[in-house]
Chain A
Amino acid sequence: MAHLTLSNISKHFGNFSAVRDFNLEVERGEFVSFLGPSGCGKTTTLRMIAGFETPSSGKIAIDDVDITHKAPSQRNVGMVFQSYALFPNMTVAQNIGFGLRIRKEPEDAVKKRVDEMLALIHLEAKGNSYPYQLSGGQQQRVALARALAIRPQVLLLDEPLSALDAKIRVSLRAEIRAIQRELGITAIYVTHDQEEALSISDRIVVMREGEVDQIGTPFEIYNFPKTRFVASFVGTLNTALAEVVDPAQGLLNMNGSLLKIADGVNGKRKGDKVMIAIRPERLSFLSEGKKENILEGRVENITFLGAVVRIQLKIAGATFNMDTFNRPSLELPQIGDTTQATCSAKAVLMLSE
């Protein structure tokens, strides 16, 4: 039995459909991210789980108990907000203990739990500080502790790192993940940052225009995107149109260049047009070792990105990026040179719209 179940959830604001037919089952202790661009419905879905929005149709259940129409205060769901939302008039300890005092827990139990939470977020010395006396990262850790103090069944995080600078974002996301694993709590995390979602999640729900495009592990989402949108939203991708030449052999013609695809052409027939995709890091120079597909192209640009060098190639009329690790022995062609790139048949993906 899934811990959190969202069945056929839809949400309409007047004529605007924010979320359509959303289905998801989350296991206990799982960390699931909702990933997508602004306006894709990810925050609306999260707010429906929290109870701040009521679904127009569908059902939300925790441990098979229907909570669709329960008030937010009755759900036992912890929430961490982008803007921290700490109560400015209360100290850190009072903020963390707020939910427990609402539940009328004995004062010594509240104090014990607050101390536990302060230790969990490594802010033992800040219990008597006010939120304005803390840095952004510290405030968000307090917000996390406050949400966890009530022992919620599900923890919801609404872009909790967006207001922080890049360095703190990376360290705090690792901390959030470590705490979530330590407590074994089910967590739903909303973000538009694909790197964040890939690094922190057990599973990712990629959303577009109110609908789920793909649900999968970070590995599946990155390596086997099912739609063009997922492929382009998560990581960098080379896409091009090709024509099916031999469905049985998985052979495609990309404007004169023959490509072999490992996973078959998914029922397409000879002459059908398909959209193919290849990740830049799956392409390499032919001189580094031959693979099933060989593509000839002209070097248009070379960009150093630190650990990686990105070579832009014009192949069969389409622009392809090829990423290769930067190393002292790397021999790069000149801009304008013709070079040969290669990739395996598995690196070639066929996308649906």
Chain B
Amino acid sequence: MNISVRLRKFPFWSWLWFILGVLYFVLPLFATLEFSLGMQRDVLSLKAYQKAFADPKFWQTFGYSVFLAVMTIIVSIILIVPTAYWIRLRLPEARRIVEFITLLPFVIPAIILVFGLIRVYSTPFHIPFTNIYLGQPLTNFKFGTNILIIGGYMVLGLPYMYRSVDTGMRTVDVRTLTEAAQSLGANWFVVIARVILPNIRTALLSGSLLTFAIVVGEVVLASFLGVQAFGPYLFLLGQHRAYEPAALTFTTFLMTWAAMGIIQLVTGGQGQTAGAH
């Protein structure tokens, strides 16, 4: 093959855009990494990482954020999977409305959401239109605040989780698979647990990963609800330290990549199984 033919076959523009894209995403990350390694003058060191990890508050807030993220993911899956499934199966006419609702977090800022939550749930529970009080305001105790913040995070993650699940369901013939399982004797629970969920596993993991990333880095809800989460900790750290926040930011990137790797590992070889035919 001569050079001119080779040049003609070389996808120059594709590679150009790919390299530009990589530079756009990788350069800032590289700058963060380089900065985080420069805590000691003229030497590349992991000192910023050591200092950041040595802070017990890091582990405390990070652990708490991971807990919130996992709970948010579980609640989201419990609510969103059956909803998306039912809409696809029985209520296709409701799809537009639900899609619109799932997009609302993009147009309503988190600050509005958190003030709304505080406004509604900072007063004691009572039966509407009566003076009968049933309990303390949710904002007054830790468990109640956890419920509020997980609910809030679920709303923030809704566009990502719903779309992931819906896209996953689009790739499998949900209706026919459901009917096939039912004709073999499966009830609704078995259909969802053993037929639908395993076939949208990749979509669920993608949605979960996005939700995880949102929750772990979230600042507004956590700050205003007064919880000791990782987002506000990182924000406060950045106000009076330089190198440690960079080290922690890079660490969260690494964790995100690790999560993506896990997705690849778990779903490896399953790509072609989606779709009923």
Contact = CB atoms under 8 A, between A and B. Distances in A.
A and B interact: yes
Interface string A50-93: 11100000000000000000011111111101011111110000
Contacts of B199: 87-89
Interface stretch (A95-103, A106-114, A117-125, A302-310): A95-103
Nearest to B271: A132
A42 interface: no
Interface string B265-277: 0000010111111
B183 A83 contact: no
Contacts, number: 86
Contact of A85 (B176, B186, B274): B176
Contacts of B273: 88-89, 130-132
Contact of A83 (B184, B187, B198, B277): B277
Most chain-A CB neighbours within 10 Å: which of B176, B182, B184?
B184
A132 B173 contact: no
A150 interface: yes
A128 to B, nearest CB: 13
B91 to A, nearest CB: 16
A186 to B, nearest CB: 15
Interface string B36-69: 0000000000000000000000000000000000
A146 interface: yes
Contact residues on A (Cβ < 8 Å of other chain), bracket? 35 or more
Nearest to A85: B180
A83 B176 CA distance: 8
Interface in A303-343: none
Nearest to A130: B273
Most chain-A CB neighbours within 10 Å: which of B180, B183, B201?
B183
Given A83-B277, A84-B276, A88-B199, A50 B172 contact: no
Nearest to A97: B184
Contacts of A265: none
A52 B173 CA distance: 16
A85 B185 contact: no
A9 interface: no
Contact of A88 (B172, B183, B187, B190): B172
Nearest to A77: B183
Interface of A: 50-52, 71-79, 81, 83-89, 98-99, 102-103, 130-132, 136, 139, 143, 146-147, 150, 156, 163
Minimum-distance CB pairs A-B, first 5: A99-B184, A88-B273, A85-B180, A89-B198, A72-B182
Interface of B: 172-173, 176-177, 179-187, 190, 195, 198-199, 201, 270, 272-277
23 contacts: A50-B183, A52-B179, A52-B182, A71-B182, A73-B187, A79-B180, A84-B277, A85-B173, A85-B176, A85-B276, A86-B180, A86-B276, A87-B195, A88-B172, A88-B199, A88-B273, A99-B185, A103-B185, A131-B273, A132-B275, A146-B184, A147-B183, A163-B277
